[in-house]
Amino acid sequence: MKLFKNQKLTLYNSFSKKKEIFTPIHDGFIGMYVCGPTVYSNVHLGNCRTFLSFDLVFRYLKHLGYKVRYVRNITDAGHLENDADSGEDRIAKKARSEKIEPMEVVQNYTIDFHQTMEKFNALPPSIEPTATGHIIEQIGIIQEILKNGFAYEKNGSVYFDVLKFNETHHYGKLSGRNLEDMIANSRELEGQSDKKNPQDFALWKKAEPKHIMRWPSPWSDGFPGWHLECTAMSTKYLGEHFDIHGGGMDLKFPHHECEIAQSEAFCNQNPVNYWMHANMLTLNGQKMAKSTGNNILPNELFTGDNTILSKPFSPTVTKFFMYQAHYRSILDFSSDALEAAEKGYNRMKEAFKNLNTLPTGKDSTMDISAWKQSCYDAMNDDFNSPILIAQLFEAAKFINSVKDGKASITPSDLEILKTAIHSFVFEVLGLQEESISDTNSTKLSDTVALLINLRKEARENKDFATSDKIRDELTAIGIQLKDGKDGTTFSL
């Protein structure tokens, strides 16, 4: 029996602006497309939040027993820095400044992206297609859109005719924009654009002579428009109509709006049943962005090599911090918030370690089945990870009480509890225990163990001057001793 038969998942559809009961097109199967990164520089923490939000979605859907095909693209074709007709593409710019091939830029940052997501213990998508690998498919779609009369060719470029499209379809239905308002508000100083209207967007751009990334097409040597690759790749791997399309909030307009228009112009089919948008991670109250420099890279966070935070933070703690906020809320990043998350996470982790040695009794003083269902209720309610984590803290408190003999649990309930915690912590949240056991850390812990023993002897001899000296000087180095009932442990 698949879990999804019993668990009623609802999710917020940005298209209808409502929470809806989730029903897949094909029972038991889910097609999900998420817009991936443009690989012209290191992925920053804000980018990571979006992918971690959808990793949670992917993991929970799988946990429920669905067979999920998760497609996330890599944008590796150079797109222009602005909407002007001439200009430089980001990847070519980077290639020139670093004196390498554009494809080396792409390779570099694709690898960086993969390594970073792996550190966060994010699952790889089922298919990770690249824009440059699907030029033929993109050209095919342009031809269809031209044939259907929703695009026009001008000087070797092809543009989507938004006004024409809007006569028979609705452009702006995802973002709530109204074309008349957009036209009224676009008082741009018209240059020498090939576009009929400022709202039109490129399906194919003719490459200027200096443009390095270029492909032949019926119209010119050029490159595809940015919005087109997602239409081409989602259609190819998920079909003309699929279940979930996700991406960052900032892609809602124009990117996702244009995707809908392209699909409808191409096959007269609304492509997506459920649109999901993950909200921004901010720093100093502003959106993290590569261009403004208001961002932090994952590695700067893990190593502590940055001016923003007081200390390094592990990928797991960072992820836990992110999941303590709902994916649709803006989350502000700060040292204080991260430290609070770290302390909470460690406390929870310590409590769960006691699961294996927990004494059992004749009855349970907590309703474990109800608790377990409340975890599902949290996730079923639009992937509400903050509530799930709150429930996990309730379990942690209960476990500590059982350990102290102030509460009890039956053997069968303990099994349910263990399994549920394992499922939610490792499978669903994907919080992985980092095991650093290289030889140096072994030597370090042996050395500290030696000092702990010396201190213990001093204490037994009531030589508190010596014992306190050991403790205080270790503290000064950054090693904290923790005296417990069963001896002394330490933490860095």
Please give the residues from 391 up to 430 whose contact with RNA meets the rule CB under 7 A: 393-394, 396-397, 400-401, 404, 406
Phi, psi of 160, rounded to the nearest 5 degrees: -80, 130
Place of tokens 């992917």: 58
Minimum distance, C-beta of residue 1 to RNA, in the bound complex (Å):
29
Residue 433 binds to RNA (criterion: CB under 7 A):
no
Residue 58 binds to RNA (criterion: CB under 7 A):
no
**Single residue of 443, 464, 473, 487 touching RNA by CB under 7 A:** 464
Longest dimension (CA), the chain: 92
**Single residue of 63, 154, 196, 287 touching RNA by CB under 7 A:** 287
Residue 339 binds to RNA (criterion: CB under 7 A):
yes
Confirm if 130 and 76 have CB atoms less than 8 A apart.
yes
Please give the residues from 141 up to 200 whose contact with RNA meets the rule CB under 7 A: 175-178, 181-182, 185-186, 198
240/339 with CB nearer RNA = 339
Residue 350 binds to RNA (criterion: CB under 7 A):
yes
**Single residue of 235, 324, 364, 380 touching RNA by CB under 7 A:** 324
35/71 with CB nearer RNA = 35
Minimum distance, C-beta of residue 390 to RNA, in the bound complex (Å):
3
Q: How many CA atoms lie within 13 A of 466 on its CB side?
A: 13
Minimum distance, C-beta of residue 407 to RNA, in the bound complex (Å):
9
Minimum distance, C-beta of residue 428 to RNA, in the bound complex (Å):
16
Please give the residues from 85 up to 114 whose contact with RNA meets the rule CB under 7 A: 90
Minimum distance, C-beta of residue 289 to RNA, in the bound complex (Å):
5
Residue 411: is the preceding peptide bond cis (ω within 30°)?
Answer: no
Please give the residues from 212 up to 241 whose contact with RNA meets the rule CB under 7 A: 226
> Which amino acid, one-letter code, is at 107?
Q
Q: Are strands 29-34 and 242-248 parallel, antiparallel or unpaired?
A: parallel
Kindly determine how many residues on this chain lie close enough to bind RNA according to the rule CB under 7 A: 94
**Single residue of 370, 438, 482, 486 touching RNA by CB under 7 A:** 482
266/327 with CB nearer RNA = 327
Please give the residues from 235 up to 274 whose contact with RNA meets the rule CB under 7 A: 247-255
Quote the tokens at residue 77: 């074709």
Segment contacting RNA (CB under 7 A): 59-67, 237-245, 265-273, 339-347?
339-347
Minimum distance, C-beta of residue 263 to RNA, in the bound complex (Å):
17
| Sign (positive or negative) of CA dihedral 229, 233, 234, 239 | positive
90/319 with CB nearer RNA = 90
Place of tokens 């081409």: 232
13/24 with CB nearer RNA = 13
Minimum distance, C-beta of residue 350 to RNA, in the bound complex (Å):
5
50/121 with CB nearer RNA = 50
**Single residue of 9, 15, 32, 50 touching RNA by CB under 7 A:** 50
Residue 126 binds to RNA (criterion: CB under 7 A):
no
CA dist 398 and 420 (Å) reads 14
Query: Residue 295, SS3?
Result: coil
Minimum distance, C-beta of residue 475 to RNA, in the bound complex (Å):
8
Quote the tokens at residue 103: 């494809």
Minimum distance, C-beta of residue 416 to RNA, in the bound complex (Å):
20
Residue 17 binds to RNA (criterion: CB under 7 A):
yes
CA dist 179 and 11 (Å) reads 28
Minimum distance, C-beta of residue 95 to RNA, in the bound complex (Å):
16
Residue 478 binds to RNA (criterion: CB under 7 A):
no
Which residues are CB-neighbours of 218 under 8 A, at least 6 positions away?
Answer: 139, 143
Confirm if 386 and 324 have CB atoms less than 8 A apart.
yes
**Single residue of 337, 355, 358, 479 touching RNA by CB under 7 A:** 337
**Single residue of 85, 153, 240, 332 touching RNA by CB under 7 A:** 332
Q: How many CA atoms lie within 13 A of 443 on its CB side?
A: 3
- The CA-to-CA distance between both ends of the chain, in Å, stands at 46
Give CA angle at 160 (155, 161), nearest 5°.
100
Phi, psi of 43, rounded to the nearest 5 degrees: -70, 130
Fill in the DSSP letter of residue 264: H
CA dist 118 and 461 (Å) reads 50
Phi, psi of 360, rounded to the nearest 5 degrees: -110, 160
Per the DSSP assignment, residues forming a β-bridge with 204 are: 158, 224
CA dist 114 and 120 (Å) reads 10
Q: Is 395 left (phi over 0), alpha (psi -120 to 50) or beta?
A: alpha
Please report the DSSP string for 439-459 in residue order: HHHHHHHHHHHHHHHHHHHHH
442/461 with CB nearer RNA = 461
Minimum distance, C-beta of residue 197 to RNA, in the bound complex (Å):
11
Please give the residues from 303 up to 322 whose contact with RNA meets the rule CB under 7 A: none
Segment contacting RNA (CB under 7 A): 81-89, 208-216, 410-418, 436-444?
81-89
The number of angstroms, rounded, from the C-alpha of 294 to the middle of its chain's C-alpha atoms is: 19
Minimum distance, C-beta of residue 58 to RNA, in the bound complex (Å):
15
Residue 128 binds to RNA (criterion: CB under 7 A):
no
